[in-house]
Chains A and B, each alone.
Chain A
């Protein structure tokens, strides 16, 4: 037991905070992420996260906690994406990318100013790559609340979200306010991205958003099951990462520990690769269950 759980693991307060917050963040990201992937908004989700870096570093400059910076910028960027969003996917990706570029440029400026004015060099790392072990415990209730809000939005809009993902035209004809649903979803996305930016960093939060969701979508055809699976994959990845990062303090080099966010990304990436290698038996079984027509192997 001592080999897996390095001494002091269960008594360490930062670790416990990391486990609680990590679980919340993983679940929120996974739930929001399922709809992100199915609506083809992976790039938008990633851009929101990167833009959050500008918000976080700006907040740091102002002496405010990064969380509020992340939230403010993510919300604004989500609004901008909504405005630009009507049009072809290509045009939207392009516009999103350019806004992203400008945002990263601003982040560069803020981070530079952070280091010059406050004489700390840690700002970049914290904002870009996360700080799950150094979260103030006073922030935990707020984060849990915001996470609950994000999940509540998605679960309340469960049916209209699925319907408008199937066909916005049919949903409109049936009376679903497709645009309003989209805006509410983007708000949930902004919250989810901000929360995971706090834990694994702005630039890596995409892993928690997209990865577990993508795994779940490969494994199941049912929407409810997809949400549960994604949440499970996300939570397990985060918990395992916290454990590994804690243990890594005893590893080379330098005994400073490996970053948690690295483990999170690695585990999620490996999970995704695993779901890609489906044994032949599985595919045949799915075929038998799914009907006589073989599923088309569309390569994307």
Chain B
């Protein structure tokens, strides 16, 4: 985890954002900021409000209070271009799109008509394929690729339009350990090289700890942001949850354990993390 290098431009800022969905308050005064070139983890269990925050940033979810700034200009909206990789992208195995076609759509999929063959376009797509290490399966039907490969193609799709902000909703779900590492390393490299602000949501922070510059921890609609050391502490999280919560560090893994009569989700996920790490 390094101090943010160069490009200290603030890409995204949320201040006091609250949102309601179906009669329930989902977000309560959420505030945090993102710099270019940094990887920020949006950590919280399922239902905590992570996807809602993405939708607010994209302008798809109305807020009842608070403001969103994108590159210093008031949002929400899609200018500047925001790259977005949603959580679940079920792709029909028969869809007549190769990996390179999907990436090409990232460039001009929102325009009418069909793409005329152009060397410039092909070069841009090739460059993206290289960047995400997807040249091997550039010609394969995207619906037939494995989960990790599809994820990389979608990331390339989101990146080709040169966004300043990249949002990824649970990109590590259903990936095996090796693919997890690859995707995480890839995202860290992209953030550094292209000075993009990357916001990754996950319910388990452990795979992201090596690359996370900042963390936004969200629980019960409220958020605490800062570096991992600042935020992932017993006092801070207990206040966030509104009940006693313990943070245990085991070597380079973090465990957040809720007390009795708490959400069991946290228990399970982090217990799995311990088991996976082979420490127990």
Contact = CB atoms under 8 A, between A and B. Distances in A.
Whether the complex brings A and B within 8 Å at their CB atoms is answered yes
A210 to B, nearest CB: 12
Given A170-B86, A176-B109, A291-B139, A159 B95 contact: no
A173 B84 contact: yes
B113 A38 contact: no
Contacts of B72: none
A296 B97 contact: no
B149 interface: yes
Interface stretch (A49-57, A104-112, A217-225, A251-259): A217-225
Contacts of A40: 92
Contact of A293 (B108, B149, B158): B149
Given A156-B113, A170-B86, A290 B137 contact: yes
Interface residues of A, number: 42
A169 B110 contact: no
Nearest to A300: B93
Given A159-B115, A223-B101, A290-B140, A170 B91 contact: no
Interface string B77-107: 0100010111001011111111001100100
- Counting chain B CB atoms within 10 Å of each CB, which of A38, A169, A216 scores highest? A169
Given A159-B113, A224-B114, A34 B86 contact: no
A34 B96 contact: yes
B118 to A, nearest CB: 14
A40 B141 CA distance: 17
A222 B149 contact: no
Nearest to A294: B144
A10 interface: no
B98 A221 contact: yes
A226 B60 CA distance: 34
A150 B97 CA distance: 23
5 contacts: A156-B112, A173-B84, A176-B110, A217-B94, A292-B137
A289 B86 CA distance: 29
B137 A160 contact: no
Interface string B53-91: 000001010000000000000000010001011100101
Interface in A247-300: 289-293, 295-296, 298, 300
Given A167-B86, A176-B109, 5 more contacts: A162-B105, A170-B154, A172-B60, A221-B140, A290-B141
B109 A163 contact: yes
Given A291-B138, A295-B140, A220 B96 contact: yes
B146 interface: yes
A171 interface: yes
B93 A221 contact: no
A234 B232 CA distance: 62
Contacts of B158: 170
B110 A160 contact: yes
A5 interface: no
B137 A291 contact: yes
Interface of B: 58, 60, 78, 82, 84-86, 89, 91-98, 101-102, 105, 108-115, 136-142, 144-146, 149, 154, 157-158
A165 B95 contact: yes
Contacts of A76: none
A297 to B, nearest CB: 9
Contacts of A165: 92, 95
Nearest to B82: A173
Given A38-B95, A159-B108, A166-B97, A295 B141 contact: yes
A179 to B, nearest CB: 13
A222 B101 contact: yes
Contacts of B96: 34, 38, 216-217, 220-223, 225-226
A157 B58 CA distance: 23
B136 A167 contact: no
A223 B109 CA distance: 13
Interface in A136-179: 155-160, 162-163, 165-167, 169-176
A37 interface: yes
B51 to A, nearest CB: 10
Contact of B112 (A159, A169, A170, A292): A159
A159 B110 contact: yes
B141 A163 contact: no
A155 B144 contact: no
